[in-house]
């Protein structure tokens, strides 16, 4: 199991982005969270297999063509306490 910290920048707030990310994370059986940030970007922490995380990120980007300007992905330590995927505020 791996974990990744992801920042989605662009026009990603107010368009259903977090709910779509939540649905995609469930589809790929990921744990973690997604939330809006004050600078207009969206932060996601995703935990699962590396392939499932990468596929989830691609599915999210494909769901918002023209909205996602930049995606920054960094590896982070996994946390066994994360047992589900949440939308946080």
Active site residues: 18, 36
Nearest Cα to Cα of residue 1 among 61, 69, 60, 47 = 47
> Based on the number of CB atoms within 10 Å of its own CB, is 89 exposed (0-12), middle (13-18) or buried (19 or more)?
exposed
Cβ-count burial 52-74 (b if 16+ within 10 Å, e if not)? bbebbbebbeebbeeebeebeee
């Amino acid at each position: 199991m791996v974990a990744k910290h992801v920042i989605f920048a662009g026009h990603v707030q107010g368009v259903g982005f977090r709910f779509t990310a939540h649905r995609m994370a469930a589809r790929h059986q990921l744990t973690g969270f997604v939330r809006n940030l004050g600078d207009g970007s969206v932060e996601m922490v995703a935990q699962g297999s590396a392939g499932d995380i990468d596929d989830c990120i691609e599915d999210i980007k494909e769901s918002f063509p023209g909205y996602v300007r930049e995606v920054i992905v960094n590896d982070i330590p996994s946390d066994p306490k994360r047992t589900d995927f949440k939308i946080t505020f």
